[in-house]
């Protein structure tokens, strides 16, 4: 609609004279398109070249000569060696930037010539270049207009960082990274290049061996207390509790991080986040698991991101947000992240195979090569020309299709990993340019010129406040009870398991010697007591098997938030003890009733409960140990030995 409107405005102004009838016609089209009236007049004056007459001057940016337009309230950026002026108008309702150049210099927009006094749409990922001027990027323009909305800026700087895995040469090689909030940064590279490793370095999980990582001058590792709540991390793994609903997943997560807020305030916060994520309509649906899905993959990914958006951290790291998603879901997730960047956050993500539209969303891109070598850091579209020039492509100045505007990010990875062709015309396994050679070029042409951005040594205020250990214990307990109460299979198995075992064991103990039963002559009672202990061990193990290891990914995130592991473990132990108490009590009551054992219910129950509680503790401790062997196998190994 904007393109049509602009072309109509340019058409009626071709001869420099615009009649009232022509203007009325275009105004009618604008009204039909539901275009805002004030923005229509802004666009009209911009298209006609009457820049001083634009009603909303705060939405106008002038790059070039201030003297000619010094009496306006428009934004201004000086650009050395630029002949003439560049004008950019921001249409807020559609988040669109219009571009017009008045001058005689040979400028190019994404490799295509810019004609003087013509109106262009300055789209995502676009850049303006001229022979002697420094490039003007889309992200730079956005940053200028965002300065009014972002009250406090943060600078994330990783200076000369180096990381190595223990007893290995693999890791991340020395480089510098510095960015301000309000940007969406992508990390690309082949499998095993170190993308996830770099995110874990940035979020503080991995300790670097040299260099320094700071946020507004505060060291990431030395000033952890001061930086609490500043960083958010969304791993690739699912962090949702399958048995809870969409709303409950966010609600209980919010209760663990906002101690000062009331339940009503938390409910309003969760509902607002769900609306922002376009998940409000499915708020009461159970999340489900991979084999029992109730919501789509894209919805799950957005909900995972929502767990961090509750805190609204100014810096967010997201690991493979589009992994396993359809193209439509991928674009929805990336649009969500871009929206957060436009709200003033610094979003850093790693991504494997972005589409053209997704690739253009990035303000900057960092390429990693095998072995953890950084080989490019800068504008996404410039990356394509950078690598093309390095291998002497004929069309090295072209970054996107001049007809459809699409780019091919995969071409960069193909250039990076180009193989040497032998004398028979077949590709060999040897690379034409090794990762180390790409890295050396990167250090010389890019890293040495990286500007360290500076900001005041202040941190934004946030109401991120963890509850006390006891409150965390109660929240964990309530969350766990709710998740188990909605799992019918879990309830049936654990409530019926003990009575069924009691009936089977008591029946065979009572009637194995014959049809007539005499309690005093029953030689199998010692055997029953022994097997009752075995059953108690078995019940205690089965009820708590995988109780912690299945939450390992959720625990990793909660430890990132410095939540109390002590409270979490105690909530598990108390709940397991409670379930084991019910199981052993139902076992003792039924079995003793069948066998005619009178007056010893409490004594039997106390012994079996203590045994089952011991089994709970053993299995919970075992489930904390990462192992490929399922914890249920502990039962199969332990019980036959008895």
- Position 146 scores a pLDDT of 73
Return the half-sphere exposure (C-beta side, CA atoms, 13 A cut-off) of residue 437. 9
Looking at the predicted structure, is the pLDDT value of residue 642 above 80?
no
Question: Same structural domain for residues 189 and 69?
Answer: no
Q: Is residue 480 domain-resident? A: yes
Q: Residue 41: which pLDDT band, with cuts at 50, 70 and 90? A: confident
Question: Same structural domain for residues 58 and 176?
Answer: no
- Position 628 scores a pLDDT of 44
SS3 of 331-378: the string is HHHHHHHHHHHHCCCEEEEECCCCCHHHHHHCCEEEEEECCCEEEEEE
What average pLDDT is seen over the chain?
Answer: 84
Q: Residue 139: which pLDDT band, with cuts at 50, 70 and 90? A: confident
Q: Residue 212: which pLDDT band, with cuts at 50, 70 and 90? A: very high
Question: Same structural domain for residues 617 and 486?
Answer: yes
What are the CA-CA distances from residue 84 to residues 87, 106, 116, 238, 471 (Å)? 10, 11, 10, 53, 64
Q: Residue 581: which pLDDT band, with cuts at 50, 70 and 90? A: very high
Query: Which residue among 146, 165, 197 closes a domain?
Result: 146
Average pLDDT, integer, range 587-616:
89
CB 632 within 8 A of CB 545: yes
Looking at the predicted structure, is the pLDDT value of residue 634 above 60?
no
Question: Same structural domain for residues 17 and 135?
Answer: yes
CB 270 within 8 A of CB 251: yes
Which of 32-46, 431-445, 460-474, 500-514 is most confident?
Answer: 431-445
Question: Same structural domain for residues 39 and 168?
Answer: no
Average pLDDT, integer, range 66-70:
62
Q: Residue 67: which pLDDT band, with cuts at 50, 70 and 90? A: low
Question: Same structural domain for residues 440 and 506?
Answer: no
- Find tokens 């950078």 and name the residue: 386
Question: Same structural domain for residues 312 and 373?
Answer: yes
> Which spans in 367-468 are helix H?
380-390, 410-416, 435-445
Query: Which residue among 104, 129, 146 closes a domain?
Result: 146
Order of strands across the sheet that contains 315-319: 231-234, 315-319, 346-350, 184-189, 364-369, 373-378
> What phi and psi, each to the nearest 5 degrees, are found at residue 373?
-90, 120
Q: Is residue 247 domain-resident? A: yes
> Considering only 100-109, 423-432, 545-554, which range has the smallest mean pLDDT?
545-554
Q: The CATH number of the domain where 54 resides is what?
A: 2.60.200
Question: Same structural domain for residues 183 and 142?
Answer: no
- Position 585 scores a pLDDT of 93
Question: Same structural domain for residues 358 and 438?
Answer: yes
- Find tokens 């049809």 and name the residue: 515
Average pLDDT, integer, range 225-233:
87
Q: Is residue 405 domain-resident? A: no
> What phi and psi, each to the nearest 5 degrees, are found at residue 138?
-55, -40
pLDDT tens track for 281-308: 999 999 887 677 788 888 888 898 899 8
Q: The CATH number of the domain where 179 resides is what?
A: 3.40.50.300
As for how many domains the chain has, the answer is 3
The alpha-carbon radius of gyration of the chain (Å, integer) is 32
Q: Give Cβ neighbours of residue 168 (< 8 Å, ≥ 6 apart).
A: none
Question: Same structural domain for residues 215 and 356?
Answer: yes
Range of the domain at 138: 2-146
**What are the residues facing 384 on neighbouring strands?**
none
pLDDT tens track for 422-479: 888 788 888 888 999 999 999 999 888 888 877 777 887 777 788 899 999 999 999 9
Q: Is residue 630 domain-resident? A: yes
Question: Same structural domain for residues 492 and 633?
Answer: yes
Token duo for residue 272: 């607002």
Which of 362-371, 382-391, 621-630 is most confident?
Answer: 362-371
Residue of 630, 638, 632, 607 lying closest to 529 (CA atoms): 607
This prediction has a pTM of: 0.78
Q: Give Cβ neighbours of residue 547 (< 8 Å, ≥ 6 apart).
A: 572, 576, 619, 620, 623
Question: Same structural domain for residues 165 and 84?
Answer: no
Q: Residue 35: which pLDDT band, with cuts at 50, 70 and 90? A: confident
Looking at the predicted structure, is the pLDDT value of residue 596 above 50?
yes
């Amino acid at each position: 609609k904007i393109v049509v409107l602009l072309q109509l405005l340019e058409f009626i102004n071709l001869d420099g004279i615009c009649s009232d009838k022509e203007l009325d016609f275009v105004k009618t089209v604008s009204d039909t398109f539901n275009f805002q009236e004030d923005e229509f007049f802004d666009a009209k004056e911009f298209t006609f070249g009457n820049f001083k007459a634009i009603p909303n001057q705060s939405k106008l940016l002038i790059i070039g000569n201030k003297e000619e337009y010094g009496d306006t309230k428009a934004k201004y950026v000086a650009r050395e060696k630029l002949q003439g002026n560049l004008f950019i108008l921001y249409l807020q309702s559609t988040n669109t930037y219009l571009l017009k150049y008045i001058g005689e210099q040979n400028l190019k927009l994404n490799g295509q010539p810019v004609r003087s006094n013509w109106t262009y749409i300055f789209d995502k990922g676009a850049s303006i270049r001229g022979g002697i001027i420094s490039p003007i990027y889309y992200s730079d323009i956005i940053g200028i207009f965002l300065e009014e909305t972002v009250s406090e800026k943060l600078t994330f700087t990783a200076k000369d960082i180096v990381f190595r895995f223990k007893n290995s040469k693999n890791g991340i090689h020395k480089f510098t990274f510095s960015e301000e909030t309000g940007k969406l940064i992508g990390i690309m590279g082949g499998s095993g290049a170190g993308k996830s490793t770099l995110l874990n370095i940035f979020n503080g999980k991995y300790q670097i061996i040299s260099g320094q990582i700071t946020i507004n001058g505060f060291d990431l590792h030395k000033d952890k207390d001061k930086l609490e709540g500043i960083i958010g991390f969304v791993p690739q793994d699912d962090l949702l509790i399958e048995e809870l609903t969409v709303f409950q997943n966010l609600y209980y997560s919010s209760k663990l991080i906002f101690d000062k807020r009331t339940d009503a305030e938390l409910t309003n916060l969760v509902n607002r986040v769900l609306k922002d994520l376009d998940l409000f309509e499915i708020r009461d649906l159970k999340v489900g698991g991979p084999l029992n899905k109730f919501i789509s993959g894209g919805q799950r990914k957005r909900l995972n991101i929502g767990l961090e958006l509750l805190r609204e951290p100014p810096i967010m790291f997201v690991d493979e947000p589009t992994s396993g998603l359809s193209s439509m879901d991928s674009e929805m997730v990336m649009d969500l992240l871009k929206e957060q960047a436009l709200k003033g956050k610094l979003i850093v993500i790693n991504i494997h195979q972005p589409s053209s539209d997704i690739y253009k969303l990035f303000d900057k891109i960092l390429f990693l090569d095998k072995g953890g070598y950084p080989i490019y850091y800068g504008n996404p579209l410039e990356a394509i020309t950078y690598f093309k020039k390095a291998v002497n492509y004929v069309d090295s100045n072209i970054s996107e299709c001049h007809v459809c505007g699409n780019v091919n990010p995969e071409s960069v990875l193909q250039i990076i990993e180009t193989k040497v062709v032998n004398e028979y015309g077949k590709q060999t396994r040897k690379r034409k340019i090794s990762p180390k050679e790409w890295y050396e070029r990167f250090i010389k042409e890019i890293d040495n010129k990286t500007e360290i951005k500076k900001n005041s040594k202040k941190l934004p205020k946030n109401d991120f406040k963890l509850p006390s250990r006891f409150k965390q214990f109660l929240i964990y307990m309530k969350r766990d009870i709710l998740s188990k109460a909605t799992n019918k299979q879990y309830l049936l198995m654990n409530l019926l398991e003990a009575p069924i075992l009691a009936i089977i064991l008591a029946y065979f103990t009572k009637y194995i010697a014959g049809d007539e039963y005499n309690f005093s002559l029953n030689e199998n009672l010692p055997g029953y007591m022994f097997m009752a202990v075995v059953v108690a061990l078995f019940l205690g193990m089965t009820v708590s098997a995988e109780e912690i290891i299945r939450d390992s990914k959720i625990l990793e995130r909660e430890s990132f938030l410095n939540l109390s592991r002590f409270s979490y473990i105690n909530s598990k132990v108390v709940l397991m003890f409670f379930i084991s108490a019910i199981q052993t009590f139902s076992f003792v009551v039924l079995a003793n009733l069948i066998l005619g054992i009178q007056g010893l219910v409490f004594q039997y129950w106390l012994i079996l409960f203590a045994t089952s509680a011991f089994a709970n503790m053993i299995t919970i401790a075992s489930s904390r140990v990462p192992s490929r062997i399922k914890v249920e196998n502990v039962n199969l190994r332990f019980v036959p030995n008895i």
